[in-house]
Amino acid sequence: MPRKAMDSLTEAMFYVLMSFSRGNMSGIDIAEDIVRRTNGRLHIGPATLYTILGKFEKEKYIQEILVEGRKRTYQITPKGRSAYHDELIRLQRCIEDAESAKGGYL
Amino acid sequence: MSQKKKHVYRLCPCDICDIESIQSWLEDMAAQGLFLTQESAFCGFFTFEKDSPRKVLYRLDVAQKQKPRFFAGRSDLTEDEIEAYKAMGWEYLFLYGDFRIYRSISPNVPELNTENQTHALTVGYLKRSYRKSFILVALLVLFWLLHAGSALSYAYMNILIAGPFFAVCVYCFLLLATFKTFARLRKLRRFEKQLLDGVGLHNYIDWKNQVFSSYFLRVVPVVLCCGLAISLMTTWLRSSEKIPLDAYPEEPPFATMADTFPDAVSMESHVWLDYGTAVILENPLATNIEWNENCDITTADGENYHCIFLLDYHEVKNEWLAKGLEKDYYIYDSHRFSKKRFQDQDVPDLGIDSVRVYNCYGSLYVLMRQDNRVAHAVVHLDNRTDQNQWLLWAKAMAQMMR
């Protein structure tokens, strides 16, 4: 595990970015999307979710585009999309490496 | 019809950075039937509502925005966030210090923080903010120590006149602030390490172990604040007890204007603001007398003078302190005025330990010390050229001090 946070995207961060594949999202939409997408395997606590959203906003991975009453809607930025794809490639390589290691002592 | 529940106030027995202990304490309070309300908290006092005991979960989370230190607030989170927390089973109560407090009545609710690394991010923000505070406080202490050790701090003057209690309180206060900030910084570093190591924070711990240190660290600053306030108040109150010179209870232990003009035909003293009065300030290290004369003098040869004579007389506990005070007075006077205007005078031997005479802006300053007694006098005469009169006072004063 990295000793310093944000060296790479964490699982929750990755899923938060992934949830934007459905379009613009609010905080509660993201939480629901992740539970649905992972069939209940991953629940994101509200503090974790809003810390990630705050961090992403600061890093310009997402931006707030709409405030409707109490609901705030965010949109992923090209920088956020690029961070998501970089992480996806890294994870795919991990899987490929793991696949090639099959048949040994594992 | 809903019945208004009884409110109970309790002082939080744990330090605000002790996240695990506060959570545990709040859960124990709920188990006793005391439930935290949203209208908390003031100076560490939390407001509880009495009801039948039940299990309630409490969590503290780092607030990265506003930090009201003493008052609770609800303006930190947006309405959208509050709604989202509620939808996920957590009710936002209030913001206290650097933390938001939440509660949940559902035992199976997903945790507020479900990922240690993300949690470590917020603890890290707070840790960095405390590190900055610690560096600032430590620099302040260092500056204060260096300053107190330097001649320009007038430490003797401040301690001997305002009293040692005041100086001790200021010093302890600064040390305590440094220690408290350091202790919080260490605690946050431990939490961050726990989170990055994947251990996470404990949801329940025995908070009673923390009570003594927490109360101690809270009570001491309050006591020091009271000490500072009392010492300032007493100094202020006592310095406002001005005695008119003609009502001064006994013969002063120093020479006055009357000793300077022994041949005066008339000497009329006027009371105006601090003039024409004396103030006696005593503390364990020194007895200080401020003597302010403002008089019109007519001498036997028909000369008229208007004279302002201000004297600070100190009987200090020991000679070493008196030497320091004398040095402080000289440095204070020589730095207060432009060098061009400050002129040391040659002084004849008056037979006492130390005498200095200097002119500043037409006023004459005399500083004398004999053993543990220090006298600092300023005289302003209408007839500025006639300073021989002043030598008379110095001689009379030296005779008294011998």
| Per-residue pLDDT reduced to its tens digit, A28-37 | 899 999 999 9
The pLDDT of residue B80 is 80
* C-alpha distance from A103 to closest chain B C-alpha (Å): 31
CB atoms A28 and B84 under 8 Å: yes
Cβ atoms of B347 and B390 within 8 Å: the answer is no
User: What does each of the 402 residues of chain B score in pLDDT, given as a tens digit?
Assistant: 456 778 889 888 888 888 899 999 999 999 999 999 887 677 788 899 998 999 999 999 998 765 444 444 455 677 888 888 998 899 999 888 888 999 999 888 888 999 999 999 999 999 999 999 999 988 888 887 787 767 667 778 878 877 777 777 877 888 888 888 999 999 999 999 999 998 888 888 888 887 888 888 888 888 888 888 887 788 777 777 888 888 888 888 888 888 777 777 877 877 777 788 898 888 888 999 999 988 888 888 787 878 888 999 999 999 999 999 999 898 888 887 777 778 888 888 888 999 998 887 778 888 999 999 999 998 887 765 556 667 777 888 888 888
| Nearest residue of chain B to residue A44 (CA atoms) | B114
| Nearest residue of chain B to residue A3 (CA atoms) | B196
CB atoms B85 and A46 under 8 Å: yes
List of chain B residues whose C-beta atoms are within 8 Å of the C-beta of residue A6: 121
Could you tell me the pLDDT band of residue A16, with boundaries at 50, 70 and 90?
A: very high
SS3 A44: coil
* C-alpha distance from B196 to closest chain A C-alpha (Å): 6
SS3 B6: coil
Burial class for B6, CB neighbours closer than 10 Å (0-12, 13-18, 19+): exposed
The pLDDT of residue A17 is 95
Nearest CB to A47 within list B80, B112, B120: B112
* C-alpha pair distances (Å), B198 with each of B108, B126, B307: 22, 19, 80
Q: Can you tell me the distance from the alpha carbon of B55 to that of B396, in angstroms, rounded to the nearest whole number?
A: 84
SS3 B113: coil
Paired with B42 in beta bridges are B45, B71
Q: Can you tell me the distance from the alpha carbon of B75 to that of B55, in angstroms, rounded to the nearest whole number?
A: 28
Burial class for B233, CB neighbours closer than 10 Å (0-12, 13-18, 19+): exposed
Q: Does A65 touch chain B (CB under 8 A)?
A: no
List of chain B residues whose C-beta atoms are within 8 Å of the C-beta of residue A46: 81, 84-85, 88, 90, 112
CB atoms A12 and B114 under 8 Å: yes
CB atoms A70 and B83 under 8 Å: yes
* C-alpha distance from B108 to closest chain A C-alpha (Å): 12
The pLDDT of residue B106 is 87
CB atoms B117 and A72 under 8 Å: no
Q: Does A50 touch chain B (CB under 8 A)?
A: yes
The pLDDT of residue B389 is 67
| H-helix or E-strand spanning residue B393 | helix B388-401
Q: pLDDT tens digits for A35-89?
A: 999 999 999 999 999 999 999 999 999 999 988 777 789 999 999 999 999 999 9
The pLDDT of residue B58 is 93
The complex scores an ipTM of 0.86
List of chain A residues whose C-beta atoms are within 8 Å of the C-beta of residue B83: 28, 70-71
* C-alpha distance from A10 to closest chain B C-alpha (Å): 7
* C-alpha distance from A59 to closest chain B C-alpha (Å): 14
Q: Does A26 touch chain B (CB under 8 A)?
A: yes
| Nearest residue of chain A to residue B110 (CA atoms) | A45
List of chain B residues whose C-beta atoms are within 8 Å of the C-beta of residue A51: 113, 118-119, 121-122
The pLDDT of residue A42 is 92
Sort residue B114 into left (φ over 0), alpha (ψ -120 to 50) or beta: alpha
* C-alpha distance from A104 to closest chain B C-alpha (Å): 29
The pLDDT of residue A6 is 53
CB atoms B121 and A5 under 8 Å: yes
Best mutation target, A34, A50, A58, A73, to test chain B (most B CBs within 10 A)? A50
Q: Does A5 touch chain B (CB under 8 A)?
A: yes
* C-alpha distance from A85 to closest chain B C-alpha (Å): 20
Q: Give me Rg for the CA atoms of chain B.
A: 32
List of chain B residues whose C-beta atoms are within 8 Å of the C-beta of residue A31: 84, 87-88
List of chain B residues whose C-beta atoms are within 8 Å of the C-beta of residue A12: 114-115, 118
